[in-house]
Structure 1
């Protein structure tokens, strides 16, 4: 995992106002981006819902995140205290 790559992250995470659960999905990476989108709570359709953030700033949110962010394109996760669900979603690969 290149911690200098960027992910799309919900504003609530960046502001430190987020609450569980924490969701993640990975599209194929592009130059400078990891393909990851990470958000807390409910996903919104707002154009500015996701903000760019380096992976290095995300890994401290939960001890499982460094391992989860190693997932290949098509990976998805949902975590909360005492809960972890990880699966593959092939629809994320063909955009």
Structure 2
């Protein structure tokens, strides 16, 4: 078993925050996922500060972005593990962070703004 598989999800999320020198922020239970974009590359994630009364901070899509009003659908994090497990390690990154990953091993994480 490789090192990544042997660590718990929380440990992997903490390691991701440490790798980029960012504070860990526990993820919400819901994300916004562009389900229709699954299977495309690269994968983009953006974490925004929660609006008052809001419960979704992460917006995740694959391939090209669309401004269509139904582009993103709310999804419980448990189901994200089934649909796009590769993004789980990034979910504890703080609001204001963006990431891009692909199948070739490319990874970029940065604070927006």
Q: Does the pair score TM above 0.5?
A: yes
Separation in 2, partners of 1:59, 1:85: 21
Q: Find 1:70's aligned residue among 87, 92, 100.
A: 92
TM-score under structure 1 normalisation?
Answer: 0.75
Cα RMSD (Å) of the superposition? 2.0
**Structure 1 stretches lacking a partner, 5+ long:** 91-95
User: Greater helix percent: which structure?
Assistant: 2
**Bigger radius of gyration:** 2
How many residue pairs get matched?
85
User: Greater strand percent: which structure?
Assistant: 1
TM-score under structure 2 normalisation?
Answer: 0.65
Residues 39-50 of structure 1 aligned to structure 2 (within 5 Å): 39-50=61-72
The equivalent of 1:84 in structure 2 is: 107
The equivalent of 1:29 in structure 2 is: 50
Instruction: Give, in angstroms, the shift of residue 57 of structure 1.
Output: 1.8
